[in-house]
């Protein structure tokens, strides 16, 4: 039994020593540049971790994305990314569903400031080209009242939709909206 415990400790140390990661941080004011650079990073073996929009020290108002690469992984990833950016929720719903039909999965959303002084909700979608195409249904709910959001989320839940993300953003009409993204199960 003592030899078994010793072997397990050695195996644990070896596993801990083999876990090495590389990171890539992408920051830009343009969503088109962000999408292009995310796909370049994906081609180099990186995968999406997280995103945030905000004021950076030297770049101003930027979208910032962190990507990770597992240096111990030998097989290549075949990920591709699409970024959707709009200040109209109806446009976002339509574009998300089009990507869902192409097998893209929701990864994150944030609010980025645009170069024109407005705000856009940005949604990051990911597709693993190594997996068979599976269509995914998405629903976007946007409202200015949290009580309305509660009611609409319950109704969507009864229809088999699971909440995957939420932000609060200024809409095209100047008010603040709570925006929830749901995925059909």
Tens digit of each residue's pLDDT (9 = 90 or more) over 103-161: 999 999 988 775 555 677 889 999 999 889 999 999 999 888 888 999 999 999 999 99
Are 142 and 178 in contact by the 8 Å Cβ rule? The answer is: yes
Q: Give the phi and the psi of residue 41 in degrees, each rounded to 5.
A: -65, -40
* Mode of pairing for the β-strands spanning 79-86 and 119-128: antiparallel
The torsion angle over the Cα atoms of residues 152, 157, 159 and 165, rounded to 10 degrees, is: 80
Query: Parallel, antiparallel, or unpaired for β 60-70 and 79-86?
Result: unpaired
Q: How much is the pLDDT for 66?
A: 94
Residue 59 CA to residue 76 CA, distance in Å, equals 32
The pLDDT of residue 55 is: 66
Arithmetic mean of pLDDT, 77-104: 91
Mean pLDDT of the chain: 83
**pLDDT for residue 121:** 82
User: In percent, how much of the chain has pLDDT > 90?
Assistant: 49
Q: 85 with 28: CB under 8 angstroms? A: no
% of the chain with per-residue pLDDT over 70: 79
C-alpha span between 134 and 175 (Å, rounded): 36
Task: Identify the pLDDT of residue 173.
Answer: 45
Rounded to the nearest 5°, which phi and psi values hold at 32?
Answer: -65, -40
């Amino acid at each position: 039994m003592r030899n078994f415990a010793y072997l397990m400790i050695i195996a644990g140390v070896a596993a801990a020593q083999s876990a090495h990661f590389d990171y890539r941080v992408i920051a830009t004011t343009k969503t088109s540049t962000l999408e292009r650079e995310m796909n370049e990073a994906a081609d180099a073996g990186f995968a999406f971790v997280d995103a945030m929009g905000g004021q950076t020290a030297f770049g101003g108002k930027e979208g910032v994305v962190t990507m990770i690469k597992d240096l111990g992984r030998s097989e290549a990833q075949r990920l591709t990314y699409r970024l959707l950016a709009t200040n109209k929720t109806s446009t976002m719903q339509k574009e998300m569903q089009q990507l869902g039909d192409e097998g893209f999965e929701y990864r994150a959303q944030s609010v980025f400031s645009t170069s024109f002084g407005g705000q856009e909700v940005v949604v990051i979608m990911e597709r693993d080209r190594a997996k068979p195409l599976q269509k995914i249904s998405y629903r976007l709910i946007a409202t200015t009242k949290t009580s309305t959001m509660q009611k609409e989320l319950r109704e969507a839940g009864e229809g088999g939709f699971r909440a995957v993300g939420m932000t609060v953003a200024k809409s095209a009409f100047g008010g603040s909206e709570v925006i929830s993204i749901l995925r059909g199960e």
